[in-house]
Amino acid sequence: MNHQDHVNLLRHAVPRDSWPWADFGSGDGAFTLALRDLTGPDTEIFSIEKNAARLDQQQRNFAIKFPQSNIHFLQADFTRPLDLPPLAGLVIANTLHFFRDQEKLLCQLRGYLKKEGRLVLVEYNTDLGNPWVPYPLSFETFRQLAVRAGFTEPELIATVPSGFLRQIYSALTFSI
């Protein structure tokens, strides 16, 4: 996938006029860059990644592509409590599939959101894992999981083909 694919997966879920946002498990920042592209230079963004090398790469990518950004790079394990302001939205892209207890993690993430805050999930559209993606969740599985975790029923936003596990989707849900 390229930058435009990342933007397209988020485009209909991320309004330009809401902030702050966070990208949990942001990796090299592909979706953080897409989030910044969609929301503009004034939106406050928190990029949370525990791997220092990946976070450093992300900072270099931002310096090249979006040097004028209101972004905070946080090296942290987001499964532990974080000191964040109430968020208008959060992105969790290609990350939830690493966690066995996804409902518990979603409940924790919901706690960072303002009332009716947006959670945008990007995930492989399958329930069959492998050593590299141990716990993927199809959109149908996410629909049930999100409601149990205190969110509205998710809306499927976009899909893109994936050579790895056939398809990646993005979904939008709101905290209740």
Q: Where are the alpha helices (DSSP H) in 114-157?
A: 139-148
24: nearest Cα among 105, 86, 101:
105
Mean pLDDT of 97-107: 96
Neighbours of 131 (CB within 10 A): 5
Read off the pLDDT band of 16 (50, 70, 90).
confident
Q: Which pLDDT does position 176 carry in this prediction?
A: 93
Q: Which pLDDT does position 129 carry in this prediction?
A: 87
Q: Confirm if 142 and 121 have CB atoms less than 8 A apart.
A: yes
Query: Is 3-174 a CATH 3.40.50.150 domain?
Result: yes
Helices (H) and strands (E) in the chain, counts: 5, 7
Instruction: Please give the mean pLDDT across all residues of the chain.
Output: 95
Q: Which pLDDT does position 4 carry in this prediction?
A: 93
Domain ranges of the chain: 3-174
Angle, in degrees to the nearest 10, between helices 30-39 and 52-65: 40
Q: Which pLDDT does position 163 carry in this prediction?
A: 79
Q: Which pLDDT does position 164 carry in this prediction?
A: 80
Reported as type and span, the H/E element at residue 118 is strand 113-124
**Model confidence pLDDT, tens digit, residues 54-72:** 999 999 999 999 999 999 9
